[in-house]
Amino acid sequence: MGKSVKPVEYPDFWSLPPFFTLQPNESSRKKQMQMWQDLLASYCESTGKFELTIADEVFHNRAIDRKLSQDGYDFLVKDMVYVFLHYLTISM
């Protein structure tokens, strides 16, 4: 049998519409990106799915009819790559 997948439990902030809108203020956007990264780590751990696209449910909250835009998704991916490369640089 395969691994049992537990249901995804989304944090409260996933139900807030501004979470799905790229924040214009730099400090707010940094916090938002960290929240997305933490959410995606939990989502991947819960689902066992480690390859995501913008079509995945985590990027679309149907209950509030909000989804991350393509621009927001692109920014998030670039930010995650930057954070990862920065981590590698300081770890060496």
Average of per-residue pLDDT across 6-31: 94
Q: How does pLDDT run across 25-57, given as a tens digit for each residue?
A: 999 999 999 999 999 999 999 999 999 999 999
Whether residue 71 contacts residue 22, with contact meaning beta carbons closer than 8 Å, is answered with yes
- The pLDDT score that the predictor gives to residue 1 is 44
Rounded-to-integer distance, Cα 92 and Cα 89, Å: 6
Give per-residue burial for 46-75: e unless 16+ CB within 10 Å, then b. ebeeeebebeeebbebeeeebbbeeebbeb
Average pLDDT, the chain: 90
- Side-chain half-sphere exposure of 76, counting CA atoms within 13 A: 25
pTM, to two decimals? 0.85
